[in-house]
């Protein structure tokens, strides 16, 4: 897994905005690289070639269904938290995120 930095031309009006945009892109790259380093054990248990299941994109898609919502209802707030599946819990554990 090699992180790819996809930074396209964005037309900002000031130098500060351009610098900020580049900083955010580099920060995203840094986070992505660290995530891939922590997810390397998945490659050891995964198949090869077309039998491979755990790609970086697959892990992100898998984690997207986890929800934490604050729902206001009749002057009270309720927190709704989805329970991670076993697969999601395994990925979160590799990333060092407590469930």
In a domain, 4, yes or no: no
Q: Can you tell me the mean pLDDT for 82-92?
A: 93
In a domain, 50, yes or no: yes
15 burial (CB, 10 Å; 0-12 / 13-18 / 19+) is exposed
Q: How far is residue 25's CA from residue 18's CA, in Å, rounded to a whole number? A: 11
Range of the domain at 84: 15-95
Which position has the higher pLDDT, 87 or 49?
A: 87
In a domain, 85, yes or no: yes
Which are the contacts of 54, defined by CB distance < 8 A and separation ≥ 6? 39, 42, 43, 45, 46
Q: How far is residue 98's CA from residue 54's CA, in Å, rounded to a whole number? A: 20
Indicate if the pLDDT at residue 41 is higher than 80. Answer: yes
Our count of domains for the chain comes to 1
Q: How far is residue 4's CA from residue 32's CA, in Å, rounded to a whole number? A: 9
Q: How far is residue 22's CA from residue 88's CA, in Å, rounded to a whole number? A: 31
39 secondary structure, DSSP code: T
pLDDT digits (tens, 9 = 90+) for 57-85: 889 999 999 998 999 988 999 998 899 99
pTM: 0.70
Which position has the higher pLDDT, 6 or 77?
A: 77
Indicate if the pLDDT at residue 1 is higher than 60. Answer: no
pLDDT at 89: 94
pLDDT at 98: 86
In a domain, 9, yes or no: no
């Amino acid at each position: 897994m090699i992180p790819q930095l996809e930074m396209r031309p964005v037309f900002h009006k000031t130098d500060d905005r351009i610098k900020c945009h580049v900083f955010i892109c580099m920060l995203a790259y840094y986070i992505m690289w660290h995530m891939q380093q922590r997810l390397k054990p998945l490659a050891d248990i995964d198949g090869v070639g077309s039998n491979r299941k755990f790609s970086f994109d697959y892990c992100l898609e898998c984690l997207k269904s986890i929800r934490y919502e604050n729902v206001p209802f009749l002057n009270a707030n309720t927190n709704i938290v989805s329970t991670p599946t076993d697969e999601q819990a395994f990925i979160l554990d590799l990333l060092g995120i407590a469930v």
